[in-house]
Structure 1
Amino acid sequence: MTESLVRNKPGMAIFLTTFGAFAYGMYQVGQGNKVRRALKEEKIAARSAILPMLQAEEDERFVKEWKKCLEEEARIMKDVPGWKVGESVYNSGKWMPPATGELRPEVW
């Protein structure tokens, strides 16, 4: 009976060492996940804090560019009778700012 215990000790040592390494590795993964989650939350908070300022800058840029477009439109259409600068030709009643990019690249 003591012989079977002596024979199983190396196998048990390998099993316990492997289990210990695995458990330690899973602990490290969990700690890394906590750090990654905290960094992600900090990044989201920073972005949401700076968003109003970025939106205000974009709105300012948009207004400047829109004024340039209206001036260009007035210059181009000055000889057309009844033309109202800045009025929509689609008559939808809704004003929608451009989603992205240039306001009207075909004008430039």
Structure 2
Amino acid sequence: MTPAHKAAAELLYTSRRTRDKVFGADREGFGEPGWDMLLALAAFGPMVAVNLFHRAAGPNPGTYLNWLISRELVALTERDTVEIAERGRALLVQYLDHEMPAKP
């Protein structure tokens, strides 16, 4: 993942957190905790502590973490950290390439 990919992931993640702050209690239904977890990992990784990773998901983070692991998008390491798996990295790079503005 290039620095531009990390910057794009951080921008997307930060934008989603801003949306949550602005809408407050009305943000119910804007879900996608698994996506938030993957963006957080891409933006702030390559590895993050499990507790930080869980904060990106909100309630019931274990459910989303298990889902991401089962899809081989993230992996647990031996030191209570989470890292993006090769499959997750490849898919996220493909998505971010599509979302990033083309350079002139």
TM-score by length of 2: 0.29
- Work out which structure has the larger RCO, using CA pairs closer than 8 Å and 6 or more positions apart in sequence: 2
Larger Rg, first or second structure (1 or 2): 1
Which of the two has greater helix per residue? 1
TM-score by length of 1: 0.28
